[in-house]
Structure 1
Amino acid sequence: MKKLLLSAVIAVFTMINLNAQESRFGLKAGADFASMKFKAEGENLSTSETGFYIGAFAEIGISENFIFQLEVLYVSIEDFDQIAIPLMAKFPVSEEFDVLVGPALGILLDSEEGMKSLNFGLEAGIAYDISEDFFIEARYNLGLANLLEDAPSDYSVKLSGFFAGIGYKF
């Protein structure tokens, strides 16, 4: 897992150097409304918790209509703190609005015994530029990974979340 993360970071910095004139960096923070879905023997149970996220991102302009956005976020909720790494495709819809979509990896920092520490899913959302430097965003992360180790096929635990926050671009 460490090799995968290191490879991703090296690839991003290589892309940034190739497109340095079209790259921006920034910071973001906000609220995370997480839900954990339990499935066992045909029964479903869902719990919700509110937490926060804070992190950094890099925008790499690929073309006028496509931006690659790599993020590294610390996400804190009561039971599961994680490092989230969304790899987002950003599509400008207008001067102020952007649509974001892509895969997201999560490394759980305090997973319990019997739980996996690698989470993954799909993320989609929108961003609105308040000014050239400030923006607000809303996104949903659909957790696809079964976080239970060695679970029978009808048992699963999945972590998803709705994010709302503000960011600043340098």
Structure 2
Amino acid sequence: MTIFGILVIVNVNAQESNFGLKAGADFASMKLKAEGDNASVSETGFYIGAFAEIAISDSFTFQPEVLYVSIEDLDQIAIPLLAKFPVSEEFNVLVGPALGIMLDAGDGMKSLNFGAEAGIAYDFSEDFFVEARYNLGLANLLDGAPSGYSVKLSGFFVGIGYRL
């Protein structure tokens, strides 16, 4: 079953659904590991995209997203599948897996990325919110990498959103 099919089934059974748009800055880091040596490269980019909020219960909302993330020469479509838990009326905790499809993976690089995301969101009103999240890249993006060699992409996201 595809992700779309799962979203349709969850949406039919959900108590309430909201859709919205979001955008912000991405402070990305690419960590390189080779023969025991480590190096890190940091770049600042942006993200823009859409999300759905599907209320499963009073204490749990499923929040799938589709984001375009642009960082210098590295663009990807990010698909976070987040669980959203309210801490108070305004504050929410977000956690879940994230997939990434690298749009310009070069020779020797994989085009599929995956990781884990965690963060917080603050609702200014029913329509507007701000968020801060960290995406920990778990996938080794080097294609056919020998043991001890890896390239992993992570990012800190800060942005705003609007519920339609």
Q: TM-score, normalised by structure 1?
A: 0.94
Q: 2:6 aligns with which of 8, 11, 25?
A: 11
How far apart are residue 15 of structure 1 and its match? 1.6
The one-letter code of the counterpart of 2:9 is T
Q: 1:136 aligns with which of 113, 130, 134?
A: 130
How far apart are residue 79 of structure 1 and its match? 2.2
Q: Aligned ranges for residues 62-141 of structure 1 at < 5 Å?
A: 62-141=56-135
Structure 1 residue 43 corresponds to structure 2 residue 37:
yes
Give the distance between the partners of 2:102 and 2:136, measured in 1 at CA: 16
The one-letter code of the counterpart of 1:161 is G
Aligned residue in 2 for 1:56:
50
Q: 1:157 aligns with which of 151, 154, 163?
A: 151
Could you list the per-position Cα deviations for residues 94-139 of structure 1 after superposition, in whole angstroms to 9, with x for gaps in the alignment?
0000000000000000000000000000000000001110000000
| Greater fraction helix | 1
Give the distance between the partners of 1:17 and 1:114, measured in 2 at CA: 42
The one-letter code of the counterpart of 2:53 is E
The one-letter code of the counterpart of 1:137 is E
Give the distance between the partners of 2:75 and 2:23, measured in 1 at CA: 15
Secondary structure in structure 2 of the residue aligned to 1:10:
helix
Alignment coverage as a number of residue pairs: 164
Provide structure 1 residue ranges, at least 5 long, that are not aligned to the other structure: none
Q: TM-score, normalised by structure 2?
A: 0.98
Give the distance between the partners of 1:62 and 1:154, measured in 2 at CA: 42
How far apart are residue 17 of structure 1 and its match? 2.5
Could you list the per-position Cα deviations for residues 32-78 of structure 1 after superposition, in whole angstroms to 9, with x for gaps in the alignment?
00000000011000000000000000011011000000000000001
Percent identity of equivalent pairs: 76
Give the distance between the partners of 1:50 and 1:131, measured in 2 at CA: 28
Secondary structure in structure 1 of the residue aligned to 2:74:
coil
Provide structure 2 residue ranges, at least 5 long, that are not aligned to the other structure: none
